[in-house]
Amino acid sequence: MLNLSVILEDSAKRFAGKEAFTFGDTTLNFAQVNGAANQIANGLRNAGIGMGDKVALSCFNLPYFPMVYFGILKAGATVVPLSVLLKTDEIEYHLTDSDAKAYFCFQGTTDLPMGEMGHAAFQKVGACEHFFMITAVPTDPSPIAGTNTLGSLMAGQAPTCETAQTSAEDTAIIIYTSGTTGRPKGAELTHSNLMLNAVLAADLGSMQKEDNLLIVLPLFHIFAMTCLMNAGIYRGAHSVLLPRFNAETVFGLMQKHKTTLFAGVPTMYWGLLNYKEDKFDYKAIAENLRLGMSGGAALPVQVLHDFEARFGVPVLEGYGMSEGSPVVTFNHPGTERKAGSVGTEVWGVEVKLVDDNGDEVAQGERGELLYRGHNVMKGYYKKPEANAKTLVDGWLHSGDVAIKDEDGYYFIVDRTKDMIIRGGLNVYPREVEEMMIKHDAVSLVAVIGMPDEKMGEEIKAYVVLEEGQSISSEDLMAYCKEHIAAYKYPRAIEFIDALPMSATGKILKKELRRQLAEQS
């Protein structure tokens, strides 16, 4: 038997009064976080939610996230973390596809009214029985009349509970990822998947209870969830939460809390590197910061060198996927680090590179990266056809192309999928295309990634208009912003008479990329 919440329960026993999470001026210790999670678990059980039920969660990087996350697990249910940037239609899809029985949603802000959008989606999903608004202040009423709050769920509940005895192979979370073949798919990760990945992430980061982590990566993303939140709880470290990246705020928190470990996507390192205001003691910040970790996308070698030259802090890069819980390879501490490489396999994971026939390629040759081990998901929720393609004889086919050098280090060199990685977040062209083509003026559209110094890749849409229709790129962009998460909409739109196609009618995105390269 194994329930991932054991990591919180163990730290609550060993480090009861030690600070666990800080947000703004509020700091909660491990005993308080565990007690709140117990209250939530008890409240969920009273609502009829238990073993195997799915419970969705939309929340910024706030202490409420780990409280609700572990409360759901303690009740024996499965967590379905959702991006805070999803719009109503997208939330409705995720609640429906995951068979969510309940939904916790933070009220949001004026600029991002998560609560309104979340509740609107909830009302469209008949099978989702319970909605709990997470208010900024637990005792506040919900801004939407008649809806329950997290505070009301917890009220009167005991701060102790008997944790559900789940199996190590039971699904702990369903985390959504996408591909070029359709809408987002939910990867089922087990208690064992997440537990083992948290332990090895803590080892890779050499985490100790004395560490101060700064978590600005979104907790709904598997990188932050496993490698920071869960690994930090497991080791009894102190985590400072920040909902949105801002270089000045990050440096301020690093200085105030003497941050020792920071993990980010490449655009965050780019942002820190390019912030030069004389407002902080960068020498003191660098002396406290012993390690940086990078993932989510390839870190430009020049950014890596420039960051280390400025701060003298080593940045270790790795490779992972939601389907891999997430860590697959890493530049291990204490061994040679190679700039531009994602390192070597982590403990308990095998990697191989294969050609189109499934045969291993020779050293230095390109091949699709496959891996197997304790980190591999159970499969995509209710997607047997996708599972048959992705999971073959225990090996997970990543869709990423890599080479391996003479020392066994892997370098990601290409993608077989059309996925765009914008600022470390995955954007899937077909999802954007399907949204755009719903507009009356749009006849056909193809979306590709274009190189961008700040974001790594930006999103560009090539649009063929319906005959007799017209629309400006500004108006079409505004339409996109209304219907899809902010990080997904195209930042460049080009109107063309026809898209390049093959003899079979397949749109040749390779040709669009070639034309784009010639123009730049």
Closest to 266 in 3D by CA, of 83, 458, 422: 422
Taking the C-alpha atoms of residue 458 and residue 491, their distance in angstroms, rounded to an integer, is: 7
Taking the C-alpha atoms of residue 415 and residue 421, their distance in angstroms, rounded to an integer, is: 11
What are the structural domain ranges in the chain? 8-190, 420-519
Work out the number of other CB atoms within 10 angstroms of the CB of residue 197: 28
Task: Give me the pLDDT at residue 498, please.
Answer: 87
Q: Where are the alpha helices (DSSP H) in 51-190?
A: 64-74, 88-98, 114-123, 150-154
| Residues β-bridged to residue 131 | 103
Task: Give me the pLDDT at residue 19, please.
Answer: 98
Q: Beta strands 315-320 and 327-330: pairing type?
A: antiparallel
Task: Give me the pLDDT at residue 120, please.
Answer: 98
Domain 8-190, CATH: 3.40.50.12780
Task: Give me the pLDDT at residue 180, please.
Answer: 42
- Domain 420-519 in CATH 3.90.950.20: no
Task: Give me the pLDDT at residue 300, please.
Answer: 74
168: left (phi over 0), alpha (psi -120 to 50) or beta: alpha
Task: Give me the pLDDT at residue 50, please.
Answer: 97
Task: Please provide residue 27's backbone torsions phi and psi, each rounded to the nearest 5 degrees.
Answer: -125, 130
Render pLDDT for 213-266 as a digit per residue (tens, 0 to 9): 999 999 999 999 999 999 999 999 999 999 999 999 999 999 999 999 999 988
Same fold? 8-190, 420-519: no
Taking the C-alpha atoms of residue 400 and residue 398, their distance in angstroms, rounded to an integer, is: 5
Tokens of residue 499, six digits: 């898209």
What is the reported pTM?
0.85
Closest to 224 in 3D by CA, of 136, 304, 293: 293
**Total residue length of the chain:** 520
Give the pLDDT means over successive 10-residue stretches in the chain (520 positions). 98 98 98 98 98 98 98 98 94 98 97 96 98 96 96 98 98 83 87 98 97 96 96 98 96 98 89 91 97 84 87 95 97 91 97 95 94 98 96 95 94 74 84 87 90 93 92 96 95 93 62 88
| C-alpha pair distances (Å), 165 with each of 6, 38, 51, 154, 162 | 11, 14, 9, 22, 9
